[in-house]
């Protein structure tokens, strides 16, 4: 990255130049390569999720006890599971469950947490106290226990999982954004906006928010990985999506007893999750390089 | 009645945690950053304010712009009181150029977006003339139109400072406060910015308040200079007289401390002894007394008033004027 000629700024060390602004023209064309590679991987997963019915050779729910635990063959590329269902088809269909839940389970807390964090940091006083003490309460619970309790209370299903993730994960965003807002709030351009008589909401929306939102965007891809892994973990524990719906975590759990004889039953869904995590991590890392200078 | 009147303005801050103090059963310490300052400025006048860092000059500027609340005293512009809550229309009339050009511009707005937001919100011009006005403002601060599309990080320090001036001018203010506005710039960039401020004052009839620690800079742009020490004005006189014949010992010391071309100074040879005392714990009598070469008994007992032979020639020192200079 080339720096603008800022010799005159040498005397002013305390302000760290923020990274590229998202409003910068053509910013999306100037991302590091890994962002495109990662986005490509993620896009592939999304396409698979969308076109699963066309891509899957067989019905993922069709039980065939006669042909259970078959080895990979021309008909069943990844063999069959203990109920004789086609593993490859199930793997493709599972993308339709894991990906929307993973994305929503990260996006919703990101939105809620960013807004609450910005309000807490900007308005301070009782708003700050109320929001951040609530955050403390959430964080005081062991994370997994909290999700388990919530899923039990709300009933098993995708909606409950997303709500549970939101209740849990907004705290991280709120903390990140609050500290950013506190940093930005005292910069001279905010003072200038106040001297100019702009309203508080306008200052928050136009002058504070765009300069802190980078932090959310950098963290979001990593959080999607967590949400996807989290869903897999809960399904593995039997708390996720109820059977017979195909889901990667549940498939790992189902394949586990047969790890000595049919190792691919648990391994392949695991690798599929790793692949998605890799893609999202690449995006997150690349965004971080570019936006968090 | 003068255009801008600052009368006995005091600004106080609570230091440290109110809660901690309350638990200990003490009153939280209160710092008086600006302690009863009064001055007046006419339309089109340029006033310089100098002093060491921590003397309250920036706080005074913030009080006048409304960024910090005034504890007591009054600030009036054109006969309208500003010290309490002020409405948008009144805020518009006093604008400020900030010190650090790297943090005074919103990094995610282009110059045009920044200017047009202000023009739109304050309805300075009709909507369809906003683009034209942005262009005019760029001309006014002598920047190329091409920079309208630029983000702050693509600009140099001098360019950003000009954008900062354009932003202040967008609201067509009556008073422009420049708080250390060239301190962060290279010396070679300072002069053009100062010239720009001077010409803007002449052409737009702005009342300029120029705050700096740099005597040379203040001398260059001001008609009148107020020297501040620990929250009060110690000398308030026309620039030429102040620099030719400083009356307050602090002013003399400041001038002696300013670097001069061709004059070598031994290290450690300083006109002022020690640090200024804490504003939390002021000495009795004259607050300059502990560092003053002239200090006498009277200085310990009586705090000198800001007085002099006329309204425009004032200094706060018992020994500033000969007896016969001051009218009874």
Number of residue pairs across A and B with CB atoms under 8 Å? 106
Of A207 and B23, the structure prediction assigns the larger pLDDT to A207
- DSSP bridge pairs for B225: B48, B237
**How far apart, in Å, are the Cα atoms of B29 and each of A286, B14, B18?**
48, 6, 9
Q: What are the tens digits of pLDDT across the range B85-107?
A: 778 788 888 999 998 888 899 98
What integer pLDDT is reported at residue A130 of this predicted model? 92
Rounded to two decimals, the pTM is 0.80
Reported ipTM: 0.85
Q: Does A186 touch chain B (CB under 8 A)?
A: no
Q: Does A197 touch chain B (CB under 8 A)?
A: yes
Select A30-291's CATH number: 3.30.70.141, 3.40.50.360, 3.10.20.30, 1.10.3720.10.
1.10.3720.10
Q: What are the tens digits of pLDDT across the range B121-133?
A: 988 889 888 999 9
Which among A12, A24, A198 has CB closest to B102? A12
- Does the pLDDT at position A56 exceed 90? no
- Does the pLDDT at position A9 exceed 50? no
Judge: A207–B95 Cβ closer than 8 Å, yes or no.
no
Which among A6, A194, A197 has CB closest to B156? A6
Q: Does A293 touch chain B (CB under 8 A)?
A: no
Q: What are the tens digits of pLDDT across the range B51-75?
A: 888 888 889 999 999 888 888 888 8
What integer pLDDT is reported at residue A182 of this predicted model? 92
Q: Does A111 touch chain B (CB under 8 A)?
A: no
Which among A24, A188, A196 has CB closest to B100? A188
Contact A21, B107 (CB under 8 A): yes
Interface of A with B in 14-43 (CB under 8 A): 15, 17-18, 20-24
Residues of B in contact with A27 (CB under 8 A): none
Give the number of other CB atoms < 10 A from CB of residue B90.
16
Q: Distance between CA atoms of B325 and B328, rounded to whole angstroms?
A: 9
For chain A, give every domain's residue range: 30-291
Residue whose entry in the numeric block shows the structure tokens 């990274």: A19
Contact B102, A6 (CB under 8 A): yes
Which among B88, B106, B117 has CB closest to A211? B106
Q: Distance between CA atoms of B289 and A180, rounded to whole angstroms?
A: 44
Residue A109 sits at φ, ψ, to 5 deg, of: -60, -30
Among A56-65, A132-141, A156-165, the minimum mean pLDDT is found in: A56-65
Rounded to a whole number, what is the distance in Å from the CA of B91 to chain A's nearest CA?
A: 6
Which residue in chain B has the smallest CA separation from A4?
B154
pLDDT class for A10, splitting at 50, 70, 90?
very low
Which residue in chain B has the smallest CA separation from A197?
B88
Task: Write out the E strands in B192-240.
Answer: 207-212, 224-229, 232-238
Average pLDDT, rounded, for chain B: 84
- 3-state secondary structure labels for all residues of chain A: CCCCCCHHHCCCCCCCCCCCCCCCCCHHHCCCHHHHHHHHHHHHHHHHHHHHHHHCCCCCCCCCHHHCCCCCCCCCCCCECCCCCEHHHHHHHHHHHHHHHHHHHHHHHHHHHHHHHHHHHHHCHHHHHHHHHHHHHHHHCCHHHHHHHHHHHHCCCHHHHHHHHHHHHHHHHHHHHHHHHHHHHCCHHHHHHHHCCCCHHHHHHHHHHHHCHHHHHHHHHHHHHHHHHHHHHHHHCCCCCCCCCCCHHHHHHHHHHHCCCCCHHHHHHHHHHHHHHHHHHHHHHHHHHHHCC
What integer pLDDT is reported at residue A17 of this predicted model? 39
Q: What are the tens digits of pLDDT across the range A11-43?
A: 332 233 345 556 565 666 677 888 899 899 999
Q: What are the tens digits of pLDDT across the range B17-63?
A: 677 777 777 777 888 888 889 888 888 899 999 988 888 888 999 99
pLDDT class for A110, splitting at 50, 70, 90?
very high
Chain B positions with Cβ closer than 8 Å to A: 62, 65-67, 87-88, 91-92, 94-96, 98-110, 117-118, 121-122, 151, 153-158, 164, 167-168, 171, 184-186, 189
Three-state secondary-structure class, residue B62: helix
Which among A24, A196, A207 has CB closest to B151? A24
């Amino acid at each position: 990255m080339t720096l603008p000629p800022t010799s005159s700024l040498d005397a002013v060390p305390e302000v760290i130049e923020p990274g590229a602004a998202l409003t910068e023209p053509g910013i999306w064309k100037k991302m590091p390569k890994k962002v495109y590679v990662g986005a490509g991987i993620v896009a592939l997963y999304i396409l698979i999720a969308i076109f699963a019915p066309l891509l899957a050779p067989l019905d993922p729910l069709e039980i065939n006890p006669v042909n259970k635990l078959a080895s990979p063959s021309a008909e069943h590329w990844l063999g069959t599971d203990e109920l004789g269902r086609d593993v490859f088809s199930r793997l493709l269909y599972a993308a339709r469950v894991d990906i929307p839940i993973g994305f929503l389970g990260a996006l919703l807390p990101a939105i809620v947490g960013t807004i609450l964090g910005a309000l807490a940091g900007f308005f301070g006083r009782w708003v700050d106290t109320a929001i951040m003490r609530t955050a403390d309460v959430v964080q005081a619970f062991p994370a997994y226990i909290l999700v388990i309790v919530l899923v039990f209370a709300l009933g098993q299903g995708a909606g409950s999982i997303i709500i549970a993730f939101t209740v849990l994960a907004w705290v991280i965003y709120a903390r990140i954004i609050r500290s950013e807002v506190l940093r930005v709030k005292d910069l001279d351009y905010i003072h200038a906006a106040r001297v100019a008589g702009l309203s508080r909401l306008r200052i928050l929306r136009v002058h504070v928010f765009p300069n802190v939102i980078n932090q959310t965007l950098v963290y979001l891809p990593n959080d999607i990985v967590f949400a996807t892994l989290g869903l897999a973990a809960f399904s593995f524990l039997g708390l996720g999506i109820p059977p017979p719906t195909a889901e990667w975590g549940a498939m790992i759990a189902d394949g586990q007893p047969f790890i000595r004889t049919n190792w691919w039953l648990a391994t392949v869904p695991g690798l599929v999750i790793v692949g998605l995590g890799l893609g999202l991590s690449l995006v997150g890392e690349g965004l971080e390089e570019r936006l968090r200078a | 009645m003068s255009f801008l009147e600052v009368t006995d303005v005091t600004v106080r801050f609570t230091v440290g945690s109110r809660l901690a103090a309350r638990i200990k059963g003490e009153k939280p310490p209160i710092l008086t950053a600006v302690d009863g300052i009064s001055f007046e400025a006419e339309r089109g006048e340029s006033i310089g304010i100098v002093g060491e860092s921590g003397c309250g000059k920036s706080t005074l500027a913030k009080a006048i712009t409304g960024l910090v609340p005034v504890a007591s005293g009054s600030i009036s512009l054109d006969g309208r009181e500003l010290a309490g809550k002020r409405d948008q229309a009144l805020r518009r009339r006093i604008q400020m150029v900030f010190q650090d050009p790297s943090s005074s511009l919103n990094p995610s707005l282009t110059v045009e977006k920044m200017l047009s937001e202000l023009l739109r919100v304050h309805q300075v011009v009709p909507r369809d003339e906003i683009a034209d006005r942005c262009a005019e403002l760029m001309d006014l601060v002598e920047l190329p139109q091409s920079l309208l599309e630029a983000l702050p990080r693509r600009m140099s320090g001098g360019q950003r400072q000009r954008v900062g001036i354009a932003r202040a001018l967008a609201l067509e203010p009556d008073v422009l406060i420049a708080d250390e506005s060239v301190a962060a710039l290279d010396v070679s960039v300072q002069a053009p910015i100062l010239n720009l401020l001077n010409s803007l004052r002449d052409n737009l009839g702005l009342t300029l308040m120029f705050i700096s620690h740099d005597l040379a800079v203040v001398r260059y742009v001001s008609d009148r200079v107020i020297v501040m020490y620990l929250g009060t004005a110690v000398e308030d006189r026309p620039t030429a007289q102040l620099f030719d014949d400083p009356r307050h010992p602090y002013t003399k010391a400041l001038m002696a401390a300013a670097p001069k071309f061709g004059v070598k100074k031994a290290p450690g040879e300083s006109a002022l002894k020690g640090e200024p005392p804490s504003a939390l714990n002021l000495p009795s009598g004259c607050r300059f007394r502990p560092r003053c070469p002239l200090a006498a008994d009277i200085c310990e007992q009586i705090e000198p008033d800001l007085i002099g032979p006329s309204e425009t020639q004032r200094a706060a020192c018992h020994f500033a004027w000969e007896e016969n200079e001051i009218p009874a």
